């Protein structure tokens, strides 16, 4: 152990380990209330007024993406979600972001690709146990929640989770 402490990279290794533990603890705290098992229902209309239900996606993996117009990390993640939505099913839920008209204006201005359901009071987010934005849920074809992620997620990370949910 003494030789390890004398190693010139020991402080980097030690501090990196503490930082990793801290990040894992924050992640666990943010996900503590996240839904598991069969996903709660989402029923509403998209921004065009077309009826939309989460159950319509059964039989295939789907990404359920909770975000807010006022969320900076959501803006950074949106291009990754949009890229995935061009090829795979994504249901986007705009939580606590104003009326349908306000969200529609935001979606159009930012070129958001997936179908969007407005969750103005945050009811859907509460059912899913969302405590921070953005939060993504990957559901398998049976509607079971397979993966939950809070915060920024890369396009590769989203694709990998969707691939795993399809197995």
> pLDDT, tens digit, for every residue of 107-155?
999 999 999 999 999 999 999 999 999 999 999 999 999 999 999 999 9
Q: State the residue range of the domain holding 10.
A: 1-30
pLDDT band at 7 (very low <50, low <70, confident <90, very high): confident
Residue 113 lies in a domain: yes
- What is the number of domains present in the chain? 2
pLDDT at residue number 5: 66
Q: Are residues 18 and 51 in the same domain?
A: no
Q: Please give the Cα distance from 76 to 114 (Å, whole number).
A: 16
Q: Are residues 92 and 129 in the same domain?
A: yes
Residue 36 lies in a domain: no
What strand order describes the sheet that includes 115-119?
A: 115-119, 90-95, 62-67, 135-139, 145-150
- Higher-pLDDT residue of 123 and 29 is 123
pLDDT at residue number 1: 61
Residue 154 lies in a domain: yes
Q: What is the mean pLDDT of residues 36-48?
A: 93
């Amino acid at each position: 152990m003494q030789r390890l402490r004398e190693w010139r990279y020991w402080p980097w290794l030690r501090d990196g380990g503490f930082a990793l533990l801290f990040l894992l603890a924050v992640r666990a705290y943010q996900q503590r209330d996240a839904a598991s098992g069969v996903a709660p229902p989402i029923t509403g209309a998209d921004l065009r007024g077309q009826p939309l239900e989460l159950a319509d996606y059964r039989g295939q993996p789907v990404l359920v993406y909770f975000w807010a117009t006022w969320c900076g990390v959501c803006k950074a993640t949106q291009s990754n979600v949009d890229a995935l939505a061009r090829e795979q099913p994504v249901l986007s839920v705009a939580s606590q972001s104003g009326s349908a008209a306000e969200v529609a204006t935001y979606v159009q201005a930012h070129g958001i690709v997936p179908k969007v359901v407005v969750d103005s009071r945050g009811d859907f987010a509460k059912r899913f146990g969302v405590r921070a934005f953005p939060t993504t849920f990957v559901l398998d074809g049976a509607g079971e929640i397979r993966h939950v992620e809070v915060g920024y997620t890369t396009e590769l990370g989203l694709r990998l989770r969707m691939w795993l949910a399809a197995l």
